[in-house]
Amino acid sequence: MEKLIITLAPTGNVPTKAMTQYVPLTPAEISNDIISCYARGASVAHIHARDEQNLPTTEMKYFAETVRLLNEAGCPIIKQISTGARGGKSDEARCEALKLNPESASLATGSSNFPSSVNANDPKLVEYMADFMLKNNIKPEIEVFDSAMIPNALELQKKGLLKAPLLFNLVLGVKGSLAATARNLFFLVESLPPDAAWSVSVIGAQHVNLSTIAMALGGHVRVGIEDNIYFAKGVLATNAALVDRIAVIAKALGRELATPEDVKRIWGVT
């Protein structure tokens, strides 16, 4: 079976220090967690940024500092910049940090709900972002919050805005979107094009179970405090502990861990 890509999502837009002291928010904290998790087997870092008030921001300067610290440390992890809907408003703002030329960026190919807000991705905005990524050789990771986002991505591929092999992250367990069930996971996986690369991002109590099923099916896994502030019931997570647990399961399943070079091969990027 293909090597396993562990993507680390250390920060996200939602967790605060009041919710968990372990969430990294400053560029120094974020880059330290990424470097530590790279050493533990993560090969992709899904990066968000916060401003001086620790609020989500899409401004390039906040992402730039994290990227600079990673480069300064010589950390070769694949960098994936979030273009998530909670971070900013205008089309240009959603793409601003992509000017840092990361290897990858997230791309939700439709709208859905978060627990208390809308995950708004107007079709025109989605096309704008896909086009921006295509022109700048940034691999889009299609964030599937709802099953319609898969055929939406195939439409973009037909229009020439996405290039095969498509890369999907199946997000399960966000309140207001797809529930974290094995049935939903199987349904989504069966809906993907056969040559697609895919991972799961499971929020909540089913994180370990469904991530393990995904690994057994040949999929990849995203972990991190963005998705789960709890490691187990009543136990706060650290990013390192979340990566370590997936690495142990991967070993038991006979999946070797992918290096950043393996990621590029699996994603079909140069």
- The footprint of Zn ion (CB under 5 A) covers 82, 84
What b/e readout covers 55-86, taking b as 16+ CB neighbours within 10 angstroms? ebbbebebbebbbebbeeeebebbbbbbbbbb
Cβ proximity to Zn ion, 84 vs 219, nearer residue: 84
Q: CB-wise, 88 or 255, nearer to Zn ion?
A: 88
Choice between 3 and 26, CB closer to Zn ion: 26
Cβ-contact 43, 257 below 8 angstroms = yes
In angstroms, give the least distance from the CB of 227 to Zn ion. Answer: 8
For residue 222, the minimal CB distance to Zn ion (Å) is 9
Q: Which is nearer to Zn ion, 82 or 238 (CB)?
A: 82
Choice between 56 and 219, CB closer to Zn ion = 56
| Nearest distance in Å: CB 46, Zn ion | 5
How far from chain centre, in Å, is Cα 268? Answer: 17
User: What is the SS3 assignment for 255?
Assistant: coil
User: Crossing angle of helices 27-39/239-253, nearest 10°?
Assistant: 20
DSSP-assigned letters across all residues of 159-217 = TTSS-SSPEEEEEE--TTS----HHHHHHHHHHS-TT-EEEEEE-STTHHHHHHHHHHT
Instruction: Give the 3-state secondary structure of residue 221.
Output: strand
Please give the residue whose beta carbon sits closest to Zn ion in the complex: 82
Question: Which residue's entry shows tokens 């989605």?
Answer: 126
Shortest spacing between CB 11 and Zn ion, in angstroms: 8
Ranges assigned E (strand) in 6-138: 6-8, 44-47, 49-50, 56-57, 78-81, 104-108, 112-113, 118-119
CB of 252 to Zn ion, least distance (A): 28
**Nearest distance from residue 12's CB to Zn ion, in Å?**
5
Q: Which is nearer to Zn ion, 15 or 84 (CB)?
A: 84
**With 0-12 CB in 10 A as exposed, 13-18 as middle and 19+ as buried, what is 144?**
buried
Residues paired with 34 in a beta bridge: none
The CB-of-48 to Zn ion minimum distance in angstroms stands at: 5
Query: What whole-number distance in Å separates Cα of residue 205 and Cα of residue 228?
Result: 9
If the CB atoms of residues 80 and 255 are measured against Zn ion, the closer one turns out to be 80
